[in-house]
Structure 1
Amino acid sequence: MRSLLARLRDFRVWCLAGAAVLSAAALTAPTVRMNRSVYHYFIVFDITQSQNAEDYVLDGKPVSRLAFAKHAARAAIRDLPCGSSVGIGLFSAYDSSDMAMMMGDEGGWSARMPREPSVLAPLFGPIEVCRNFFAIDRTIQAIDWRMAWSDASDITGGLYATINKAKALNGRTKVVFFTEGEPYVAYGGGDNFRPFSGAKREVKGLLVGVGGLVPAQIPKFDDLGNRKGFLATRSRLDESFLRRLEAETGLRYVRLLSAAQFSADLRAAEFAEREEVDVDIRLPLGALALILVLLAVLL
């Protein structure tokens, strides 16, 4: 009996010693080199006025298209394997030279601005999702419609600019572009569709349709962000227009229905890259240390 107790005591000591070693190892932020499927994305959110239309439901409450797109993106990025990378951008539309004049800087800042439509604002390029998860997540959480620099939306120009940006980053970055797809015609202008000058499917990715098929009211806000009724124009998901862009660019069109569905779309095999990557093993080391502590306490 005494021998059994001694052995049990020794077992507990070894468990606690092992837990201490594993905990110390986890504090050094260790990694192991692994060959695995990873994903690289440049994700762009449409932040124009129509994204304020509330035709989604989240936790039993109506939410805007932008809010639901952000929710789906944050959940999907959480599901990506370590070694994957994500960059974030915003889509709106305004002639940058006009913007400079509006800011009262005709000779200084405006002189450095490109004299072409600025439809895309990259926030940061692709960064690794595990080491930088909180930075990515908080950036997406902070995206707001008030960041928009125009009410109208040149969707064609925004998508093409996104593809060109992804192409310039490297040869492996895929595109994710959230929009409801309504061209200028819905706001009293003309259809802004035009041919894509690049090679079809040279850049892969997802064209994500947000919103409902039934026209929804667009909330109107004052300068302080307080809701003041609705705009006269209603907005809906224009799948036919997005299908035209899908055929033109070779991107895959998907409709945003749920966070789980979008996460699965983001991890599709066609977008995976097989690479040697450094994988953070702090979590498994910490889990093993906890198991050893529990064994020492419970036995």
Structure 2
Amino acid sequence: MNWLAHLWSERRDALLLAAAALALAATFLNPGLTLGRPLFDEVVVLDITQSMNVTDRVLDGKPVSRLAFAKHALRQSLLDLPCGSRVGWGVFTEYRSFLLLAPIEVCGNLNELRATLDHIDVQMAWAGNSEVSKAIHSGLGIAGALPEKPALIFITDGQEAPPLNPKYRPHFDDKPGEIPGLIVGVGDPSKSSPIPKTDPMGRPLGFWKADEVLQTDPRSRGRGASVGNEQLVDDAGAAAPAPALGATPGREHLSSLREPYLRLLADERGLGFHRLESAEGLSEALRARALARTVSARADGRVALAVLALGLLLWTEGAGTFVAMMVTGLAIRRRR
């Protein structure tokens, strides 16, 4: 071992330069290593029904609508998704979801994703109803029909309009967990607020009143008979409300986050649930392990070899002296 120590002490710089040359030469072989890394492929469906215009969220100290708050959080969350991940946009109104933009890679298309998101608003709605359960089913169908079968991110306040009756609740043949996803609830869960009313051009017309909104499921009224307001007997008991479904008969013109109902829908379909409180929280939820896909990616070894070669060169006596002189010169200038 003494001869190795002697060789190192006598020929250190030459050995370091030789090792640096070998490292640089190896870069021409384009070495690399295949590693698995988590990426995300997601379709985000935004509720654009009128209750999403309720201003019960706060952003920068000012009240904003649920939809504006959700869009702000999504805009920020795009920056945290790893490059190679893909995001697409969809909207929901009436009883179905509609795909606006199929998933595209986030880093190379960040401006396009943000520009498209900015133009999503409640004026795009084509009907006034808000049948959340049916729209989630529709969203899962959209995700399942896309080639990569992305995860579904469904953002809503959970208000069914008209409200659901448990006796006539829709049932679907979705296989829980077949399509991964997340239901994101937005809104104040403890306080009900009036729903803004607008004309087709988006101009405000005040708020919806109790007599302008269906307070119960139409089937709960029973089918009309041939005599006056007589109800058919087989509809008796249909009007019993279901608190778990978020129904609030007599107060359906007011809106709050229907979290228990959304959690129920998430559990039934094998989806996760997240209450939207901040952009940071949503970003973390969108990067949950349950939504990730492990993708094989090749790590370029040339950068590591080049850094190694640079380090070996700096280790030599001449380069070390040069670096020391540079550091000393910078320190003297700073003192002046």
TM over 0.5: yes
Match of 1:243 among 253, 263, 266: 263
Q: How far apart are the structure 2 equivalents of 1:265 and 1:197? A: 27
Q: How far apart are the structure 1 equivalents of 2:206 and 2:298? A: 51
Q: How far apart are the structure 2 equivalents of 1:202 and 1:33? A: 28
Question: Is the Cα–Cα contact under 8 Å of residues 209 and 256 in structure 1 kept in the other structure?
Answer: yes
Q: How far apart are the structure 2 equivalents of 1:85 and 1:120? A: 19
CA offsets per residue over residues 220-240 of structure 1, 9 Å max, x none?
Answer: 123332222111211111112
Match of 2:64 in 1: 63
Match of 1:195 among 137, 148, 171: 171
How do 1:27-176 and structure 2 match up within 5 A? 35-93=36-94, 119-176=96-153
- Unpaired segments of 5 or more residues in structure 1? 1-31, 95-118, 280-294
1:272 aligns with 2:292: yes
CA drift at 1:151: 1.2
SS in 2 for 1:78: helix
Cα RMSD (Å) of the superposition? 2.3
Q: How far apart are the structure 2 equivalents of 1:278 and 1:218? A: 51
CA drift at 1:65: 0.6
CA offsets per residue over residues 263-294 of structure 1, 9 Å max, x none?
Answer: 00111112111113589xxxxxxxxxxxxxxx
Q: How far apart are the structure 2 equivalents of 1:203 and 1:86? A: 15
Size of the aligned set, in residue pairs, is 226
Q: How far apart are the structure 2 equivalents of 1:226 and 1:124? A: 27
SS in 1 for 2:127: coil
Larger Rg computed on CA atoms: 2
**Structure 1 residues 150 and 209: CA distance shift in structure 2, 3 A:** same
Question: Is the Cα–Cα contact under 8 Å of residues 183 and 190 in structure 1 kept in the other structure?
Answer: no
Letter in 2 for 1:196: F
**Structure 1 residues 177 and 278: CA distance shift in structure 2, 3 A:** farther
Question: Is the Cα–Cα contact under 8 Å of residues 181 and 209 in structure 1 kept in the other structure?
Answer: yes
- Unpaired segments of 5 or more residues in structure 2? 1-32, 210-252, 300-325, 331-336
Question: Is the Cα–Cα contact under 8 Å of residues 83 and 278 in structure 1 kept in the other structure?
Answer: no
User: Higher strand share goes to which structure?
Assistant: 1
**Structure 1 residues 146 and 248: CA distance shift in structure 2, 3 A:** same
**Structure 1 residues 278 and 136: CA distance shift in structure 2, 3 A:** farther
Q: How far apart are the structure 2 equivalents of 1:253 and 1:124? A: 23
Match of 1:21 in 2: none
How do 1:244-263 and structure 2 match up within 5 A? 244-263=264-283
Question: Is the Cα–Cα contact under 8 Å of residues 175 and 269 in structure 2 kept in the other structure?
Answer: yes
Question: Is the Cα–Cα contact under 8 Å of residues 196 and 249 in structure 1 kept in the other structure?
Answer: no
Identity %: 40
Q: How far apart are the structure 1 equivalents of 2:192 and 2:159? A: 11
Q: How far apart are the structure 2 equivalents of 1:276 and 1:204? A: 20
Q: How far apart are the structure 2 equivalents of 1:247 and 1:168? A: 22
Letter in 2 for 1:154: E
Question: Is the Cα–Cα contact under 8 Å of residues 131 and 162 in structure 2 kept in the other structure?
Answer: no
TM-score, normalised relative to structure 1? 0.70
Q: How far apart are the structure 2 equivalents of 1:166 and 1:246? A: 16
